[in-house]
């Protein structure tokens, strides 16, 4: 029987899993494209969210399906991205003024994929339903993304001394086959630890929420993602502490967003239909449509910020403030949605004047071999 105090062993296990998977990703990006390594990392990191979403979908709790999906997406962008920026700014002691996190040209692929996933969800939002057919298209976007990642160059080169001790051991192995087996083993350990700890962790949090009298919708939307997304936060914080790895930390978060907009969202109607023994669409209520709308607008704004391949203090502050308002004052969500829309309009005009509208996509296309 799982009770709230299971958190005392489940939470540390999630942390250990995050660190282990982070080690493997840092080494793996030396031998394959950085984006592919981070995509693998992102997939493993969001497995707790997948587990939560799958259980909710299997239990046919339609309202909570949308609550977990929108909450996890908004938390990544509104809290995760600013966490990376301000962590990097805090540790950039030698730099005068606020730093700018500059992404590489090949990160334009993540921007493009995030744009495609968000735009497709605009269609889902407009038609008011999520179906198995939508799953096909969402999965297709993600697998095209993976295919493109395999053709990208090796990412950031690190000195051996910069790697964690496990990474140093692996990089010193003479045979490539030994390195890859070691990496697969470490990735597997991280995945197994996450699979073991996720369900008890979520159940213990649910029990604690009941004790505290927290509503199920609010708990699933905000409290559950805070814990289940801990792996992303741990890895991102570690990388953001150094200037060279700050772009890698940011793209790690973007990759997690891509996974959630495509694979996780596409999984929902499939699991839901299997649990009902028939192909059943999810028809959204007015509340769910509002939550999806706010999430889509936040994502579009974040994409605008990434279009010039730079993340500034204004970008990070804006994302955090707008997220904090809706988190601490839920009635203000509709007003926040209007602000998202206005800011998107202003960003598009600004990018167009600077001739940087779709700059990230142009750079990716121009440099791609």
Over the stretch 8-56, which tens digit does the pLDDT of each residue have? 777 777 777 767 776 776 676 666 665 666 676 667 667 667 777 887 7
Give the separation between CA 281 and CA 230, rounded to whole angstroms. 31
To the question of domain 4-367 being in CATH 3.30.70.270, the answer is no
Asked if pLDDT for residue 157 goes beyond 60, the answer is no
Contact 359, 367 (CB under 8 A): no
Q: How far is CA 164 from CA 11, 33, 161, in A?
A: 22, 19, 8
Percent with pLDDT over 70 in the chain:
80
Would you tell me how many other CB atoms lie within 10 Å of the CB of residue 364? 22
129 bridge partner residues: 283
Place of tokens 């990376």: 84
Name the 3-class secondary structure at 319.
helix
Determine the pLDDT at residue 17.
Answer: 73
Angstrom distance (rounded) from CA 81 to CA 323: 11
pLDDT for 228: 66
User: What DSSP character marks residue 153?
Assistant: P
The H or E element containing residue 175 is none
**pTM listed for this prediction:** 0.84
**The pLDDT value given to residue 93:** 67
Question: What integer pLDDT is reported at residue 153 of this predicted model?
Answer: 62
181 or 294: which leads in pLDDT: 294
Element (H, E) at 63: helix 62-75
pLDDT at 365 over 90: no
Residue 73: pLDDT over 80: yes
Higher-confidence position of 52 and 294:
294
Retrieve residue 25's tokens.
Answer: 């990703």
**Is 80 in contact with 233 (CB distance < 8 Å)?**
yes
Domain residue limits, the chain: 4-367
* Predicted local confidence at residue 210, as pLDDT: 74
Q: Does 233 have pLDDT greater than 80?
A: no
Q: Which of 180-189, 240-249, 270-279 has the highest mean pLDDT?
A: 270-279
Output the pLDDT for position 254.
Answer: 92
Q: Over the stretch 314-351, which tens digit does the pLDDT of each residue have? A: 999 999 999 999 888 888 888 999 999 999 999 999 99
**Mean pLDDT value across residues 64-71:** 87
Tokens of 139: 């999965």
CA 303 to chain centre: 13
The residue count for the chain:
369
- Residue 183: its pLDDT value, please? 77
| Residue appearing with tokens 């009941």 | 210
Answer for the pair 52, 222: CB distance below 8 angstroms, yes or no.
no
Both structure tokens of 304:
């605008």
Residue 114 backbone phi and psi in degrees, to 5: -65, -40
| Of 296, 271, 237, nearest in space to 84 by CA | 237
DSSP track, 183-226: HHHHHHHHHHHHHHHHHHHHHHHHHHHHHHT--HHHIIIIIHHH
CA-based radius of gyration for the chain = 20
Instruction: Taking residues 70-74, report their average pLDDT.
Output: 92
Pairing outcome for strands 101-102 and 282-283? unpaired
Angle formed at CA 21 by CA 231 and CA 82, multiple of 5 degrees: 35
- The pLDDT, as a whole number, for residue 297 is 97
User: Residue 252 and residue 229: Cα distance in Å, rounded?
Assistant: 12
Query: Could you tell me if 27 and 167 are in contact, meaning their C-beta atoms sit under 8 angstroms apart?
Result: yes
Residue whose pair of structure tokens reads 């909710």 in the numeric block: 56
Q: Alpha-carbon distance 296 to 287, whole Å? A: 14
Q: What is the 3-state secondary structure (H, E, C) of 237-288?
A: HHHHCCCCCHHHHHHHHHHHHHHHHHHHHHHHHHHHHHHHCCCCCEECCHHH
Question: Is residue 48 within 8 Å of residue 14, measured between CB atoms?
Answer: yes
Residue 77 · residue 257 · CB < 8 Å: yes
Mean pLDDT, rounded, of the chain: 83
Pair of tokens at residue 299: 């994502």
State the pLDDT at residue 293.
95
Predicted pLDDT at 34: 58
Q: Is the pLDDT of residue 161 over 70?
A: no
What is the C-alpha end-to-end distance of the chain, expressed in Å?
A: 55
Q: pLDDT digits over 76-103, tens only? A: 999 999 999 999 998 876 667 888 999 9
In 3-state terms, what secondary structure has residue 46?
Answer: coil
Say how far apart CA 215 and CA 97 lie, in whole Å: 43
The dihedral region occupied by 347, where left means phi > 0, alpha psi between -120 and 50, and beta the remainder, is alpha
């Amino acid at each position: 029987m799982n009770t709230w105090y299971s958190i005392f062993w489940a939470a540390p296990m999630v942390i250990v899993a995050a660190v282990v998977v982070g080690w493997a990703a840092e080494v793996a990006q030396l031998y394959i494209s950085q984006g592919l390594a981070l995509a693998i990392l992102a997939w493993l990191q969001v497995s707790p969210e997948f587990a939560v979403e799958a259980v909710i979908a299997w239990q046919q709790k339609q309202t909570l399906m949308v609550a977990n999906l929108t909450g996890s997406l908004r938390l990544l962008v509104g809290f995760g991205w600013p966490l990376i920026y301000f962590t990097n700014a805090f540790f950039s002691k030698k730099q005068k003024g606020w730093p700018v996190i500059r992404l590489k040209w090949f990160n334009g692929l993540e921007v493009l994929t995030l744009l495609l996933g968000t735009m497709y969800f605009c269609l889902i939002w407009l038609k008011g339903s999520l179906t198995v057919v939508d799953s096909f298209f969402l999965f297709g976007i993600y697998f095209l993304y993976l295919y493109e990642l395999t053709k990208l160059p090796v990412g950031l080169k690190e000195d051996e001394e910069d790697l964690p001790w496990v990474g140093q051991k692996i990089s010193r192995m003479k045979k490539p086959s030994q390195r890859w087996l070691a990496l697969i083993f470490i990735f597997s350990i991280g995945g197994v630890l996450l699979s073991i700890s996720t369900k008890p962790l979520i159940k213990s949090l649910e029990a604690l929420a009941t004790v505290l009298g927290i509503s199920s919708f609010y708990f699933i939307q905000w409290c559950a993602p805070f814990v289940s997304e801990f792996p992303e936060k741990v890895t991102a914080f570690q990388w953001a502490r150094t200037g060279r790895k700050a772009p890698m930390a940011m793209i790690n978060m973007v990759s997690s967003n891509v996974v959630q907009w495509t694979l996780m969202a596409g999984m929902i109607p499939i699991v839901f239909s299997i649990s009902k023994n028939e192909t059943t669409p999810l028809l959204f209520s007015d509340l769910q449509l509002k939550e999806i709308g706010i999430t889509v607008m936040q994502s579009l704004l974040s994409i605008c910020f990434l279009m010039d391949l730079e993340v500034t203090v204004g970008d990070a502050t804006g994302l955090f403030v707008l997220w904090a308002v809706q988190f601490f004052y839920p009635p203000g969500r509709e007003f926040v949605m209007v602000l998202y829309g206005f800011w998107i309009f202003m960003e598009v005009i600004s990018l167009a004047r600077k001739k940087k509208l779709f700059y990230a996509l142009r750079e990716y296309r121009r440099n791609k071999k």
